[in-house]
Structure 1
């Protein structure tokens, strides 16, 4: 079998259209026609727009992409689609945390931890669906106008009843019609709120356990191809080439297709401020007593969120002194190694769905960027613990100026945090795996080369105590030890 693997990095626009006709990036004829129509070369086209075809239509307002795209006040053409989801999900998560603490699975038996997704599905009113930014915004505006509960969400078909679409502009809303929609579903919504409380109480009492063992994985699943390619790549060069190509495919397509000319620039222009940069003498005064983050970062350090250097993040206080802080933000690296993914999904039933975290690390950020997380948690305590990625923080910053505090879009930050619940869960799953692997490595190190049999017996006892059955997965014990050795080398504190 011969397969042609196009190198996305070097394809011209005609080549991209030929190989990926189901996608819609900045290279499509439709996008270029829209830019010409509105007389601009600045484009803010997000990932959801790129991942859908040129003929996609909004399920709420019925507009196609040529009617959805609109210019903002700054002259940037916005091509945005958003994932509209049921905020009952966030309410259910909040009830879990309130009743069981954080992280809530820690307080439950292994069989009860698997019940979360089926329980959540019982209280949600609709599945997540892509919608245009006009309808997604109109839904929020309608809830605000009517003073509706934060965790209530109109379904796409309900939005269609009260939204009044306009071509290439933000949609209008019929508030009275939205009120009638709400009154028609209010009783149902309140019953789901009460049902969520009942479900969580049953879960806490151990009455909603759901057994999912190692053999509960479907015989054939989407990872089968990845596992096959991973094995073949070790011995056959063509398979190795295909694996490497597949690994970078979406990243290359994103680079060629997504455009974020509007990121970091507010639609409303702020008044010009009379802010001068600090002089060398003023920086020298500041550096006589800087914070640890300042000392631990090089002089040419810049942060990818606001893309400012160290001198540019200094701000002047009311007393005329220059100040700043360089803080840290926890970020996760997702697992991409096919072998590691296979072991994680087979050993841990919790990992069968959703993202899998390979590691966590701290990244230095300026105080303004870190404030995206801090201010969000103050405004929305129910989102405490939910993660924001580096990309999320960057997108939530408004107009960025040197030596001034950056603007923060807390509404967008809340939307991103709510959408990242799976990352929070994946982070907790990683800590469980890391602690197990480190513990096994510690047990192994207690035995010398002359006590292999005793070491194996001790490892078997230890791993069974963690609720795992490595004998059911060939090579699992060796893999766990190698993972523990790698974590120990990275300096992770061993569990007590």
Structure 2
């Protein structure tokens, strides 16, 4: 399907195929585009509820000549904090009715604790909100302590302390940030108190809710549902997360900012390490975790230098080298299972479906720690492996890299969708590992098979989310497969 035909098919929406996007690219004189899922999903006439800018006013050119078109899904981290606190107070149990009731109670509690609904805002407003919390730091007094990742400013509050301009990053009104926090702090304290009170009520046996016996009755009957049932019957491959809308999204997004920079030139080393010095260093590094795993043909996954080339001499003329492991993220818009099971909970613009443990030299690992030292607003996960490689200006054997730190810091601030995706992936990994531990504990305690344990938790899941039992079995089968995948990855980290 041509771009013109596709624009007619998906009219009102946006993508690398739309006339509006092409017009903005022409205006900025670039053929490189970074357009995320939320931008593609929002209509062409969408405007940010915080800064009131339209899409053509939000799009901006990065230092590497890429047109950045990004909208973020902004949610209240206070809800995450309250959910964790609720579980901490109520505790855990293998008894399935307890788990079902706790999930119902937690969901009801969050409706009164979260200060705003999940809202789409532009990337600059999202970055501005994070910068505002960095300005405040961790906030505390004699009775209250809240880390900056444990709450969020609402869209209306963000609008009160940003200074927007077309096609530029926002500036902040620092005084407005502080006055906003002073105003909302009592409300946040009160909501967390409500969370803890509700948790104690649940512990005392109150606020239970009877769930439906047997299967949940479905009464939906509308044209869209009946048509989609016919479509899925005719095209089974469109079921479970691989829908027509998903395929439109795949056609719409663009990630030209990744792996587009030219590779830096490798310069000759000033002095190579001798065989004797290398043998001595190799023996000294035998106790390191990753050095022995890297064979003689190993190369850094980022700068591609060999084990001998990453060796450097210290100020005391002693040769040293280290190998670290980082996660190389795999973003896959076409992976249907992850989209089906995780997307309703995460609602991130990007989704990480897997990772590959990558061994890198100490100089590449240094890029991340150095930009964090230079800018404490940079998240540890803000740079991908490709971003790290793109920030290297020159590679020299036995020497530190020359780094374009301003490029790396800007890229880090632009990668809010990646940071959110990494955080969501970590939460997913933790939940999967916890579920696997519950399954193994159930098998051991009840002396049953893994299949019987799966059936038990399939019922628990189905009742907690008010779905059919078949959906519970499908979910648990996927969770077990995910658990085994994480176990395999952990063996190589």
Q: TM-score under structure 1 normalisation?
A: 0.62
> How far apart, CA to CA, are the structure 2 residues paired with 1:207 and 1:262?
52
Q: Tell me which residue corresponds to 1:13.
A: 3
2:450 is the alignment partner of 1:431 = no
CA contact (8 A) 2:94 2:438 kept: no
Q: Tell me which residue corresponds to 2:255.
A: 260
> How far apart, CA to CA, are the structure 2 residues paired with 1:85 and 1:392?
22
Q: Tell me which residue corresponds to 1:8.
A: none
Deviations, residues 100-132 of structure 1 (Å, cap 9, x unaligned): 67xx67699322244222222221100111111
User: Offset at 1:14?
Assistant: 1.1
Deviations, residues 447-492 of structure 1 (Å, cap 9, x unaligned): xxxxxxxxxxxx989966997699x978899999999999999998
Deviations, residues 346-397 of structure 1 (Å, cap 9, x unaligned): xxxxx99748xxxx9874323579979x98xx99xxxxxxx98xx9955885
Comparing 321-330 with 403-412, greater Cα deviation is found at 403-412
Comparing 362-371 with 62-71, greater Cα deviation is found at 362-371
RMSD over aligned Cα atoms: 5.9
Alignment of structure 1 residues 38-53 onto 2, 5 Å: 38-53=28-43
CA contact (8 A) 1:325 1:367 kept: yes
Alignment of structure 1 residues 12-411 onto 2, 5 Å: 12-96=2-86, 99=89, 109-110=98-99, 111-147=101-137, 149=146, 150=148, 151-212=150-211, 215=214, 217=216, 219=218, 232=233, 238-240=234-236, 243=239, 247=242, 252-263=247-258, 295=293, 311=306, 315-317=310-312, 318=314, 319-326=318-325, 336=336, 354=345, 363-367=356-360, 399-401=390-392, 409=412
Q: Classify the secondary structure of the residue corresponding to 1:115.
A: helix
Aligned residues: 428
User: Offset at 1:12?
Assistant: 2.2
CA contact (8 A) 1:96 1:200 kept: yes
> How far apart, CA to CA, are the structure 2 residues paired with 1:225 and 1:297?
58
Alignment of structure 1 residues 464-475 onto 2, 5 Å: none
> How far apart, CA to CA, are the structure 2 residues paired with 1:141 and 1:487?
35
Higher relative contact order (CA 8 A, sep 6+): 2
User: Offset at 1:80?
Assistant: 1.6
> How far apart, CA to CA, are the structure 2 residues paired with 1:431 and 1:88?
27
> How far apart, CA to CA, are the structure 1 residues paired with 2:268 and 2:83?
44
Q: Classify the secondary structure of the residue corresponding to 2:115.
A: coil
Q: Which runs of 5+ in 1 are unaligned?
A: 1-10, 233-237, 346-350, 380-386, 446-458
Deviations, residues 154-213 of structure 1 (Å, cap 9, x unaligned): 211222233332111122333334444434333222211322332334445554544445
User: Offset at 1:264?
Assistant: 6.7
> How far apart, CA to CA, are the structure 1 residues paired with 2:250 and 2:132?
36
Q: Tell me which residue corresponds to 1:348.
A: none
Q: Indicate how the Cα distance of structure 1 residues 201 and 216 shifts in structure 2: closer, same or farther if over 3 A, else same.
A: farther
> How far apart, CA to CA, are the structure 2 residues paired with 1:214 and 1:227?
28
